[in-house]
Amino acid sequence: MAKSRPNESAGTNRLQWFFFVILIPVIFAVTLTLIVLTIAGVNLGDLAAKYGKDVPVVQSLFSYQAEKSKDHTINKMQYSLDEKTDRLDQLEQEIAGKNVTIEKLQQQVGDLQAKLSMKENTKEDKEAQVKQISSSFKDMDPEQAAAIIGNLDQPIAVTVLRNLPNNERGDILGELDPEQAAKLTSLFITIGN
């Protein structure tokens, strides 16, 4: 029996040697490495899932985490899609509002163009009427023309005088009251500039 004890103690010494020299330092080194990596900000769970998914036995341990990660990614993408859809709807509403504004402005442009055309036609009609009336004054005696022009409103009288030739205009102004002729001449010069 005494012989078996030294063998047992040699076996125990080898086992103790394995624990104290190899196993405990390896466990300490791995633990220290994990602590340092965690403090450094490395996500060890993701790394373990990334490399563990290819190992057959370990793969079953990380399937839940992989599904959770996929669900998280899907939820994140769905949220992003919802945000973009909302933004797209908002932009479409803005476009619709701007299209309505454009249509209103185009309608206003059309109305203003119609008014401008009518005013141009009216202005042309007035000019034609003034020329026609002025030509009738050409054929009149200067005394009669002076009596009629003296009773007209001053702007209208100036417009009629403007369309007459210089010599006829001078004859008519000569027949008018000097004070009235001076006012019409002054207004004629003022409106002409």
Closest CA to 162 of 124, 143, 189: 189
Residue 1 has pLDDT above 70, yes or no: no
Q: Running DSSP on this structure, what letter comes out for residue 170?
A: H
Instruction: Kindly report the pTM of this predicted structure.
Output: 0.38
**Mind listing the pLDDT tens digit for each residue in 65-98?**
556 777 888 899 999 999 999 999 999 999 999 9
The CA-atom distances, in angstroms, between 110 and each of 60, 99, 116 are: 74, 16, 10
Residue 3 has pLDDT above 80, yes or no: no
The one-letter amino acid at 100: V
**CB-count exposure of residue 160 (10 Å: 0-12, 13-18, 19+):** buried
Q: What's the average model confidence in pLDDT over 110-139? A: 79
Contacts of 147 (CB under 8 A, 6+ apart): 175
